[in-house]
Chains A and B, each alone.
Chain A
Amino acid sequence: MTAIKWHVRAGAYYDSVVLMQLQRGLLELNGVLDAGVVMATPANRDLLAANNLLPESITANPDDLLIVVKADDDAAAANAIGQVDELLARRKSSHSQSFLEFRPRSLSAAVKQLPQANWVLVSVPGRYAAGVAREALELGKHVFLYSDNVSLEDEIALKKTAREKGLLVMGPDCGTAIINGVGLGFANRVRRGAIGVVGASGTGTQAVTAHIHHLGGGISHAIGTGGRDLKSEVGAVTAHQALEALARDDETKVIVLISKPPAPDVAAQLISAAQSTGKPAVIYFIGYPPPARKIGNLRFAISLSEAAEIAVRELEDLRIEGSSILQSPNSRYVRGLFSGGTLAYEMMVGLQASLSPLFSNSPITNSQNLEDPLHSKAHTIIDLGDEFFMVGRLHPMIDNDLRIRRMRQEAADPETGMILFDVVLGEGAHLDPAGELTPVIKELREKRSGELEFVAVVIGTEDDPQNLQSQISQLEEAGVKVFRTAAEAVEYVSLKFNTNKKNGFTPVDLEQLKQPLAGINVGLESFYESLISQGAQAVHVEWKPPAGGNEKMAALLAKMKSKKEN
């Protein structure tokens, strides 16, 4: 059963050669038996009628463009009609290829020359780079900002604009990115695949992507952020956008996040964001102690090559235990009251990555120092065995009094959402710590009507005098979540305090990211040549400093531009 569909376009005039080409394009489509594309003059209508391509219900004026398709079925005919614009446009873009060689002097002219460009590569001297990047954002393009010596203020402002527009600013000082199989800047030729990379380090990204390739894996996108993105002032805007985009990207099954040591608050938010992706994510913060091997869907690597190896392995396994985001996240603070100094310290190492701000009387970094050990603030881990507390007192492994009083103190603070503590059994320790702690825990939980959570790490064996099993049972019966290792507790607490904040950014348009890469290059010519040799469409801008370096004129022009923005 054949089907005929048609489309009438009023007030459109195309050269007859264009129409013949369109007709041929339609005939090449699957299921299309015949097609007619004409201006609907009486003579042309007669022609269509003679070929049984003029259903009686068609009404069209002689000035109208009439497109008729006869196909195997309705779907094929409708599909053909739906492709008319694309077929017309295809002619256009292949034609425009011939003048892509022209080297414009301005970004705006380049964009008109290559309207489908989705990226602008900027590698002009630093003091001009922000201006070019800003213009690119205004034109709705993503920016690969290779230039360095861009001020921090400019970086912050550019990224603010970018996130409002759903655009990426990779950089400044971003050396490497791979978008949709095309390397920008310095990038290795790696196969395409399911591993997405977010890299605040250019060579780090190269090392990881090359090793993934070597191990048989491939890259979906490798998004650079620039080295300063993970500073507190910048707040990892680009890294957050990249994680969020890769989370939505169907092609990306595993994510790798690499950076030099980020600011603690930034690291915590990024880890939280990486958890929210719900995809296996491998994190390597170079020079930053890994909090654990794994926390939920997160894996922590200790080298670039290991990051690649874990990513490839995760891809092979692809088994995350359900959603890694726990139900009912805790939006208050954790207060850790430890009798064991090393356990407290391990907890710090594990939690500092995902909780911020985090304080302790046994800090890892100076900024974590809790000035007054008697009063917790924000997230706090206290080593109650510290000598500050020990003056004239028994060790908390023997005497629970100090810890009970501190538990009461913390529970009275409405900001406390979790009390984390250890119970260390064994020779010399208190004979029934759970027996003393649980009545208080029950009382405090009741007082805070369920909004206060207790979590314990219990260290001991069945043969210990206190009997491990009985201690655990007592604690669990009192509503305490019990773990046998600090690592498990770290994972639980990290996931529990994942705030999973919506960042309020305009999401990056994935469809645009998946378009064949077309770039406008402003600066180093080799970047342009590299794009061309990778088969991407590109235009090179013959850039010169504004007003030929005439400072007075350039300043005046800048003023006129800022006036426009006001």
Chain B
Amino acid sequence: MDIDNANTTAITRLMEARPILKGVAAAKDVIPGMRDNLFLHAGPPIEWARMSGPLRGAIIGAMLFEGIAASEAEAVSMVERGEVEFDSCHHHGAVGPMAGVTSASMKVYVVENAEHGNKSFSNLNEGYGKVLRYGAYSEEVLKKLHWMNDVLGEALANALANSSGIDMRALIAEALHMGDEGHNRNKAGSLLFLKSLAPLIAKTMKDASAMSEVLQFLGDNALSVLNPVMAACKAMTDAAHGVEGSTIVTTMARNGTDFGIRVSGLDAKQWFTAPAEIPVGLFFSGFSQADANPDIGDSAITETAGIGGFAMATAPAIVTFVGGTPKDAMNATLEMYEITFAESKYFTMPSLDFRGTPTGIDIRKVVELGITPRINTGIAHKNAGVGQVGAGLVRPPLAIFEQALLAYAEKYGL
């Protein structure tokens, strides 16, 4: 077995994957294994007792949204009686930002990898303020979720059904040339997304004022495209998973308590986890580092696929997150070349002479150099329902890469 050959195979699959946004549908209709009492969440699997505030809040909110509980108290007691089940989004081809909670009737984006045929899913982005993904479940949060499911979701589903889909790889590549890194900054990508969707929506929506609301919502939310981008990254990284002998990381995800990774050459259910760290960054006024929850969300799938924090060099507008100067941003990307196996063929950065983004984290390099991946991230308040309090940078614990290396050695008899 040649590790480099295996990794080349994995990386080629990752880069050649062609994620196309094909549609929007109810989770239970499209996500494999989805059922009414199952609640998917971000990060590695976790039991209720160990869940952090934002994740618990989001689960309570989703149970209220689904109507299986009438109150917070009822939801909690149902959970404690074991009447609902939890699982990692990643076990179902899905990803969700922050809490990432996805329930049976929620509408999700359906992305299909035209190259290898695998599918991936992500919920719809709620925008800013009090939102479920940060653990909020007030009346207004639920009301917005219902509008999103019924009006926005319906509109998107009809629009996409009438199209050949949106080529997400091309969209990401273009957005990277417009100042996005694809994780914390999705302004350009969201506008490109709106540009593609608007004519399709106009063609299929009858009600002009509802259409106006939908377009306004998509346009106002600079994170509109984050979820389909994540689903696209998921489709790419899933295509790279399961290559015998490969040491490439195919998942990085956090559930607010643990940070977990999976590796291509190891079992799909084999997570390597350690306590998630608290991100360091800039805080909205009135909040500080003390309010921050440990790292949460599946959005690190973007870095896993070679964008996000790895493509900082192309996103000068958000350099304040990494030290303040464009040079710091450049150095952030240059550092990630150290631990990646390849450079992207399709995602390039003008500031680095159109060099491809660092792609495919190699656990060998992480352990050898002691450099962990840089992840750009939003920061959640540690209490359920408060929402986002800032944004910044986080790195996974080195220990999980060491664990993965040991497991690899055991599996392959090294």
Q: Which of B3, B335, B343, B406 meets A556, CB within 8 Å?
A: B406
- Contact between A560 and B370, CB atoms less than 8 A apart: no
**In the complex, which of the residues A113, A548, A560, A564 has the most CB atoms of chain B within 10 Å of its own CB atom?**
A560
Q: Kindly supply a per-residue 1/0 record for chain B positions 164-186, scoring 1 wherever the CB is within 8 Å of any chain A CB and 0 otherwise.
A: 00000000000000000000000
* Complex contact B364–A557 (CB within 8 A): yes
A391 to B338, CA, bound (A): 78
Enumerate the 8 nearest inter-chain pairs by beta-carbon distance, A residue then B residue, closest first. A109-B338, A548-B370, A102-B334, A105-B369, A546-B368, A109-B337, A559-B414, A106-B338
**Are B330 and A564 in touch, CB under 8 angstroms?**
no
Interface of A is mostly: helix
Q: How far is the CA of A92 from the CA of B368 in the complex (A)?
A: 31
- B198 on the interface (CB 8 Å rule)? no
CA gap between A192 and B344 in the complex, in Å? 43
Chain A residue nearest to B5 in the complex (CB): A564
Q: Which of A510-566 contact B (CB under 8 A)?
A: 544, 546-548, 550, 553-554, 556-557, 559-560, 563-564
A140 near B: Cβ within 8 Å?
Answer: no
Tell me which of B335, B350, B370 has the highest count of chain A C-beta atoms within 10 A of its own C-beta: B370
A189 to B406, CA, bound (A): 50
**Residues of A with C-beta under 8 A to B414:** 556, 559-560, 563
A307 to B255, CA, bound (A): 73
Q: Are A99 and B334 in contact (CB under 8 A)?
A: yes
Question: Which residues of the partner chain B approach A559 to less than 8 Å between Cβ atoms?
Answer: 409, 414
Q: How far is the CA of A473 from the CA of B369 in the complex (A)?
A: 78
Q: Residues of A contacting B337 with CB < 8 Å?
A: 104, 109, 112
* Least CB distance, A369 to chain B, in whole angstroms: 52
Residue contact A96 to B364, C-beta cutoff 8 Å: no
Q: Which of A74-130 contact B (CB under 8 A)?
A: 92, 95-96, 99, 102, 104-106, 108-109, 112-113
Closest residue of chain A to B2 (Cβ to Cβ) is: A564
Rounded to whole angstroms, the CA-CA distance of A550 and B247 in the bound complex is 19
| Choice from A95, A554, A556, A564 contacting B409 with Cβ under 8 Å | A556
B397 to chain A, nearest CB (A): 14
7 pairs across A/B with beta carbons < 8 Å?
A105-B371, A106-B338, A112-B337, A544-B369, A547-B368, A550-B402, A557-B405
Contact indicator B402/A95 (Cβ below 8 Å): no
| B376 → A minimal CB distance (Å) | 19
**Most chain B CB within a 10 A radius of its CB, from A92, A544, A557:** A557
Choose from B1, B247, B371, B405 the contact partner of A553 (Cβ within 8 Å).
B405
| B353 at the A interface (CB under 8 A) | yes
Q: How far is the CA of A377 from the CA of B47 in the complex (A)?
A: 84
Q: Given the complex, which residues of B lie within 8 Å of A109, measured CB to CB?
A: 334, 337-338
State the Cβ distance, B365 to closest chain A Cβ, in Å: 7
Partner of B353, one of A96, A546, A548, A553: A96
Give Cα A548–Cα B369 distance, bound, in whole angstroms. 7
| A560 lies within 8 A of B353 (CB) | no
Chain A contacts for B334, CB-based, 8 A: 99, 102, 104, 109, 113
Does B330 contact A105, Cβ atoms closer than 8 Å?
A: no
- Report how many A-B pairs have Cβ atoms within 8 Å: 67
Give me the interface of B with A, judged by CB distance under 8 Å.
Answer: 1-4, 247, 327, 330-331, 334-335, 337-338, 343, 350, 352-353, 364-365, 367-371, 402, 405-406, 409, 414
A496→B367 CA distance, assembly (Å): 59
Given contacts A105-B335, A106-B338, A548-B370, 11 further A-B contacts (CB under 8 A): A99-B330, A99-B352, A105-B371, A106-B365, A112-B343, A553-B367, A553-B402, A553-B405, A560-B3, A560-B414, A563-B2
> Residues of A contacting B352 with CB < 8 Å?
99
Contact A547 B331 (CB under 8 A): no
Q: How far is the CB of B133 from chain A (nearest CB, A)?
A: 35
Nearest CB of chain B from residue A236's CB, rounded to whole Å: 34
The answer for the CA separation of A547 and B365 in the assembled complex, in Å, is 9
A564 in complex: contacting residue of B4, B327, B343, B371, CB < 8 Å: B4
Query: Bound state CA distance, A557 and B338, in angstroms?
Result: 16
Interface residue count on the A side (C-beta < 8 Å): 26
The reply to whether B353 and A95 form a contact with Cβ atoms under 8 Å apart is yes
* Minimal beta-carbon separation of B72 from chain A (angstroms): 46
Measured CA separation A546–B338 after assembly (Å): 13
- CA–CA, A550 and B330, complex, Å: 30
Given A96-B353, A99-B352, A557-B368, does the pair A105, B338 have CB atoms closer than 8 Å?
yes
Give the complex CA separation of A564 and B353 in angstroms.
32
Interchain nearest-CB distance for B387 vs A (Å): 36
Q: Name the distance in Å between B356's Cβ and chain A's nearest Cβ.
A: 11
Q: Is the CB of A563 within 8 A of B330?
A: no
Interchain CA distance A545-B280 in the complex, whole Å: 27
A435 CA to B230 CA, complexed, in Å: 102
> B338 near A104 (CB under 8 angstroms)?
yes
- A96 to B334 Cα, complex, angstroms: 12
Give chain B residues whose Cβ lies under 8 Å from the Cβ of A104.
334-335, 337-338
Most buried by A among B247, B350, B369, B406: B369
Q: How far apart are the CA atoms of A559 and B327 in the complex, in Å?
A: 37
- Distance A560 CA – B67 CA, assembled complex (angstroms): 53
Report how far A475 CA is from B1 CA in the complex, Å. 71
- In the assembled complex, which residues on chain B have CB atoms less than 8 Å from the CB atom of A99? 327, 330-331, 334, 352
The answer to whether residues A557 and B3 also contact, given A102-B330, A104-B334 and a CB cut-off of 8 A, is no
A544 to B343, CA, bound (A): 24
A residues less than 8 Å from B368 (CB atoms): 106, 546-547, 553-554, 557
Kindly provide the distance from the CB of B217 to the nearest chain A CB, expressed in whole angstroms.
Answer: 35
Look across to chain A and name the residue whose beta carbon is closest to the beta carbon of B371: A105
Chain B residues, Cβ within 8 Å of A92: 353
Chain A residues positioned under 8 Å from B247 (CB to CB)? 560
**In the complex, are the beta carbons of A564 and B405 less than 8 A apart?**
no
Least CB distance, A480 to chain B, in whole angstroms: 64
Contact between chains at A544 and B370 (CB < 8 Å) = yes
| Assembly CA distance A435 to B229 (angstroms) | 103
Cβ distance A174 to chain B, nearest Cβ, rounded Å: 26
Per the 8 Å Cβ criterion, residues 418-464 of A in contact with B are: none
Chain A residue numbers with a CB within 8 Å of B327 are 99
CB distance from B405 to the nearest CB of A (A): 6
In angstroms, Cα B341 to Cα A564, docked, is 15
Roughly how many angstroms separate A15 CA and B2 CA in the complex, as a whole number? Answer: 39
Shortest Cβ gap from A537 to chain B (Å): 16
A475 to chain B, nearest CB (A): 68
Determine the distance from Cα of A115 to Cα of B369 in the docked complex, in whole angstroms.
Answer: 21
CA distance A112 to B365 in the complex (A): 15
Give Cα A487 to B344, complex, Å: 68
- Contacts of A563 on B, CB cut-off 8 Å? 1-3, 414
Query: Which residue of chain A has its CB nearest to the CB of B365?
Result: A106
In chain B, what residue has the closest Cβ to A554? B368
Q: Could you tell me which residues of chain A, from 1 to 51, have a CB within 8 Å of some CB in chain B?
A: 15
Cα distance A256–B4 when bound, in Å?
A: 44
Is the CB–CB distance between B405 and A106 below 8 Å?
no
| Chain A: minimal CB distance from B354 (Å) | 9
Q: Which residues of A contact B406 (CB under 8 A)?
A: 556
- Name the residue of chain B whose CB is nearest to the CB of A93: B353
With A553-B402, A563-B1, A563-B414 already in contact, the answer to whether A102 and B353 are too (CB < 8 A) is no
Given A109-B334, A113-B334, the answer on whether A557 and B367 have CB atoms closer than 8 Å is yes
Query: How far is it, in angstroms, between the C-alpha of A96 and the C-alpha of B63 when the chains are bound?
Result: 54
Docked CA distance A313–B337 (Å): 52
Most A CB contacts (10 A, CB to CB) among B4, B331, B368, B370 go to B368
Cβ-closest chain A residue relative to B398: A548
**Which of chain B's residues has its CB closest to A546's CB?**
B368
Expressed in whole angstroms, the minimum distance between the Cβ of A96 and any Cβ of chain B is 6
Nearest CB of chain B from residue A385's CB, rounded to whole Å: 67
Q: In whole Å, how far is B285's beta carbon from the nearest beta carbon of chain A?
A: 34
A92 to B355, CA, bound (A): 11
| Bound Cα distance from A104 to B332, whole angstroms | 11
Tell me, rounded to whole Å, the shortest Cβ–Cβ distance linking A547 to chain B. Answer: 5
**A92 vs B350: C-alpha distance in the bound complex, in angstroms?**
11
CB A556 to nearest CB in B, in angstroms, measures 5
Q: Once the chains are docked, how many angstroms separate the CA of A105 from the CA of B327? A: 17
Chain B: which residue is nearest A110 at the CB level?
Answer: B338
Minimal beta-carbon separation of A563 from chain B (angstroms): 7
